A and B are shown apart, each in its own frame.
Chain A
Amino acid sequence: MSEELIDITLNSTNAEKLPSDLAKTILYYWQRDQLATEVGLQRLLEATMLLEPEKTIELMDSLGMPELVIMLKEM
C-alpha cells in the first residue's frame, strides 16, 4: 500500500500543497525504510488525503478497507 500512496503523492497535480514539515517527515521514514510501517503509512495517508482525497478513498476501497474508507470520508 505504501507504494500506491507514494505514487499518489509524487504524481499529484497538487503536490506543491504538501506542507514542508510533512514532506520532510516522509523523507525521514523513506530514508529509514519505514514508509510501510504503521507510522509511515499514517503520514502517507495524511499526505494523500491533503493532496488527492478522492484517489485515496478510491485506493482504500479497491484494497478492501471499508472501515478506513468510512473514516476517511468523515475526515
Chain B
Amino acid sequence: MTEFGIEFVPRDLYWKTTYYAIQAEKTGFTYLWITDHFNNRNVYVALSIVSAYTDKIKFGPGVTNPYFFHPVVTAQAVASLNEIAPGRVICGLGAGDKTTLKMVNIRQKNPLSTIREAVQIIREVTSGKNMEFDGEVFNISGAKLNFRMASPIPIFIGAQGPKMLMLAGEVGDGVLINAASPKDVENALLFIRKGSEKAGKRMKEDLDIGVYTSFSVAQEKEKAMKAVTPVVAYIVAGCPEIVLERHGISVESSNKIGEAIVHGKWKDVFSHVTPEMVEAFSICGTPAVCIEKIDKLLKLGITQLVVGSPIGPNVRKSINTIAVEIFPHFRTD
C-alpha cells in the first residue's frame, strides 16, 4: 500500500508548522518531512517541537545535506530526536540545494562520494559504533555518540539525476525521487532498480520508494497555480540538465530563474516560470486533477507519495481537502 507523506518548510513560524503537523497526523499522513535550508528556521528545532505535539507520525529532515552539516552532526541530531520519539525518526539526505549553497559559496563537490560516505557515517554513528573512517571526502578518527539509540533510523536519499538515483537504490533504506511527472518517475525507477540490484535489494520490500513532489490543491485552479509557482521556480533552478531537457526547458531559462531567486527578484521569478514548468514539476490544481495525477504516479509502484510545499494557498484547508476529497480515492480502509 502506498503511504502518504507531507512536507513543511520552516519558513513559517514554529507554531504554524506544528499546527499543520498535528493536523497531518490527525488526517492520516504517515510521514512528515521538514526541509533544511540555512535561511529558514532550524529543521531540528522544528522537528523537536513537532515530536512533542504528535504521537504517531514518522518525521525527519527532508532533506538535509552533508555540505552544511557534517554527517556526525546529522547523526547526533537524528539520534537525539529518536530519544524523544523512539522509532518515529527518519532521515532524509541529499546533495543540497544549489541555490542556497551558492549563497554561502559552498561548492557541491563530489556529490556521489559525499552522499555515499555520509550515509555510511550516519548509519554507523547512530548504531553506536566508534567510527574510524578514511574516505575520499570525510576523514574520521574515533567518533562515537555518548548516548545510546534504541532503534535504527532509516535513511532516505533525495535524488533526481541518474547517478544519484542509482546510489540511492544501492545504499539508501529509501529513496525520495524529486519528481512530479510520471515520465520522470518511470525514468528514475530504472536507475533506482539498477542500484538496488547491485546491492541485492528488492524494490519496495527492501527499499522504500518515495516520490517527493511539489503539491498545491485548491478548489480554484488559478489559486493553486499561484501558490505553487515560487516552489517550482526553486525546483527548475536546481534541476539537473538531463531532467530539464526531458521537459524541453532550456538551461538558460533555469539559470535566469536561479539568478532572480538569488537576487530576490520575485516579479522576475513569476514571469519566468511557465505553465509547462508547473505541469512538469508539480501536482497542482483542483482535487479532481490532483487525484488523476496521483493515480498515475501510484500505478508506477511507489511506496510513499510526499505532498510537498506549498500544499495549497491555504495550508489548513488544503490538508483537509486532501483528507476528505483525495485520500478516499486511494484508501480502502
Given A20, A23, A31, which contacts B22 in the complex, CB threshold below 8 Å?
A31
**Chain B proximity of A29: nearest CB distance (Å):** 10
* Nearest B residue (CB) for A20: B15
A27: which B residues are within 8 A, CB to CB? Answer: 15, 18-19, 22, 53
**Chain A proximity of B20: nearest CB distance (Å):** 9
Cα–Cα distance between A43 and B193 once the two chains are bound (Å): 52
CB under 8 Å from chain A, chain B span 18-58: 18-19, 22-23, 26, 53-54
Q: What total of chain A residues lie within 8 Å of the partner, measured CB to CB?
A: 17
One digit per residue, 1 when the CB lies within 8 angstroms of any chain B CB and 0 when it does not, for chain A 17-59 equals: 0101001101110110100000000000000000000000000
Q: Given A7-B314, A10-B315, answer yes or no on A15-B19 (Cβ-Cβ < 8 Å).
A: no
Flag if B316 contacts A6 (CB, 8 Å).
yes
* Nearest A residue (CB) for B315: A10
Cα–Cα distance between A53 and B15 once the two chains are bound (Å): 20
Say if the beta carbon of B198 comes within 8 Å of chain A.
Answer: no
Cα–Cα distance between A33 and B53 once the two chains are bound (Å): 12
Cα–Cα distance between A2 and B38 once the two chains are bound (Å): 34
Chain A contact residues: helix, strand, loop or mixed: helix
Q: What total of chain B residues lie within 8 Å of the partner, measured CB to CB?
A: 15
Say if the beta carbon of B11 comes within 8 Å of chain A.
Answer: no
Given A16, A28, A33, which contacts B13 in the complex, CB threshold below 8 Å?
A16
One digit per residue, 1 when the CB lies within 8 angstroms of any chain A CB and 0 when it does not, for chain B 122-159 equals: 00000000000000000000000000000000000000
Flag if A10 contacts B18 (CB, 8 Å).
no
Say if the beta carbon of A62 comes within 8 Å of chain B.
Answer: no
**Chain B proximity of A8: nearest CB distance (Å):** 11
**Chain A proximity of B219: nearest CB distance (Å):** 15
Cα–Cα distance between A16 and B314 once the two chains are bound (Å): 18
Given B13, B15, B16, which contacts A24 in the complex, CB threshold below 8 Å?
B15
Which of B22, B23, B54, B315 has most chain A Cβ within 10 Å?
A: B22
B314: which A residues are within 8 A, CB to CB? Answer: 7, 11
Cα–Cα distance between A31 and B316 once the two chains are bound (Å): 15
Flag if B16 contacts A30 (CB, 8 Å).
no
One digit per residue, 1 when the CB lies within 8 angstroms of any chain A CB and 0 when it does not, for chain B 288-317 equals: 000000000000000000000000001111
Flag if B15 contacts A26 (CB, 8 Å).
yes
Cα–Cα distance between A15 and B17 once the two chains are bound (Å): 13
Cα–Cα distance between A24 and B18 once the two chains are bound (Å): 10
A16: which B residues are within 8 A, CB to CB? Answer: 13
Given B13, B14, B53, which contacts A31 in the complex, CB threshold below 8 Å?
B53
Cα–Cα distance between A70 and B316 once the two chains are bound (Å): 30
Q: Given A27-B53, A31-B22, answer yes or no on A7-B316 (Cβ-Cβ < 8 Å).
A: yes
Cα–Cα distance between A41 and B14 once the two chains are bound (Å): 21
**Chain A proximity of B310: nearest CB distance (Å):** 13
Cα–Cα distance between A20 and B13 once the two chains are bound (Å): 10
**Chain B proximity of A19: nearest CB distance (Å):** 10
Flag if B316 contacts A15 (CB, 8 Å).
no
Flag if A18 contacts B15 (CB, 8 Å).
yes
Cα–Cα distance between A58 and B15 once the two chains are bound (Å): 25
B22: which A residues are within 8 A, CB to CB? Answer: 27, 30-31
B54: which A residues are within 8 A, CB to CB? Answer: 31
A30: which B residues are within 8 A, CB to CB? Answer: 19, 22-23
Q: A-contacting residues of B (Cβ < 8 Å)?
A: 13-16, 18-19, 22-23, 26, 53-54, 314-317
List 28 A–B pairs whose Cβ atoms lie within 8 Å, in order of A's numbering: A3-B316, A6-B19, A6-B316, A7-B316, A10-B16, A10-B19, A10-B316, A11-B314, A15-B13, A15-B16, A16-B13, A18-B13, A18-B15, A20-B15, A23-B13, A23-B14, A23-B15, A26-B19, A27-B15, A27-B18, A27-B22, A27-B53, A28-B53, A30-B19, A30-B22, A31-B22, A31-B54, A33-B26
- With A23-B14, A26-B19, A28-B53 given, name 17 new contacts (CB 8 A): A3-B316, A7-B316, A7-B317, A10-B19, A10-B315, A11-B314, A15-B13, A15-B16, A20-B15, A23-B13, A23-B15, A27-B18, A27-B22, A30-B22, A30-B23, A31-B53, A33-B26
